[in-house]
Amino acid sequence: MSFTKSQVNKLGEKLRHGTAIDGESLERLQDLRVLYDAPMARVQVSLRDRLGVDATSRLKTVNTIIEKLRREKMRLAEMQDIAGLRIVEEMGIGAQNEMVERIISLFAGARVVDRRRHPRHGYRAVHVIPEVDGFLVEIQVRTRLQDSWAQAMERLADQAGREIRYGGVPAGWESVIRRALSISEKFGQIEEQIESIRVEGSRLPSPRRVARGQRELQLLHARLHARQKSLEASVSELSDTVRDKLKKLLEETDSAT
């Protein structure tokens, strides 16, 4: 089955406004969703064969597509993440930028969304969105720390409610969410500082002529890396806090029944 953009958007409007969604509309959405699989696979193969990069893949579920249509008021044909790929590497901001440039070189006209400078509810990453065979495919490029934070928030959303991914703060979870956002802000600053030091260090003349300055940069770089490791531990601790919070809530619920 094939769809024109007009047909896709018409289906999206029906799904957005329908209080009770009919079986035919759901079936058509599922048919549309399946069409994204081949373009997504093409992008995944290109990343692997031409860049040597492994990316995980997923198609957005029918339910999450409908939820996003109703939440963000976008046209269905313009939804960029029905097909999604994710790249996670042990890298800094500079290497992340280089990775993004390499991906852009494969897909002419690809759009870039940088969530590092403008985080979305604490979420930081870079998204590259090419159009392949008429379908948008979102490629998420994350550092290891960015991914650890995002995974912790996914677990938190599973327990506290999906609305926290979009700025919602469920009752009883305020302090955990404030802490999560604080961690995101701190590691964003540290990643930027480490990159700044790396750039400054690359501009230095020979080490012999600037031994003292180089040593100072190395010491500062080491201190920032130590802070980054501390933040990684904080992200892990956040996951533990979420589990403890859920356990406490379940115990309180049991005692009240």
Smallest CA-to-CA distance from 123 within 85, 82, 151 is with 151
pLDDT 10s digits, 97-137: 999 999 999 999 999 999 998 898 899 999 999 999 999 99
pLDDT at position 28: 95
Whole-structure pTM value: 0.79
pLDDT at position 249: 46
Smallest CA-to-CA distance from 128 within 150, 101, 151 is with 101
Q: At what angle do helices 174-203 and 93-106 cross, to 10 degrees?
A: 90
Lowest average pLDDT, out of 106-120, 168-182, 190-204, 243-257, goes to 243-257
DSSP state of 165: G
Smallest CA-to-CA distance from 149 within 106, 180, 189 is with 180
pLDDT at position 169: 86
Q: Which two tokens stand for residue 29?
A: 């959405």
Judged against a pLDDT cut of 50, whether residue 91 lies above it is answered with yes
> How far is it, in rounded angstroms, from Cα 235 to Cα 89?
17
Confidence of residue 191 (pLDDT cuts 50, 70, 90): confident
Average pLDDT for residues 190-212, to the nearest whole number?
66
Average pLDDT in the chain:
84
> How far is it, in rounded angstroms, from Cα 172 to Cα 252?
12
pLDDT 10s digits, 24-65: 999 999 999 999 999 999 999 999 999 999 999 999 999 999
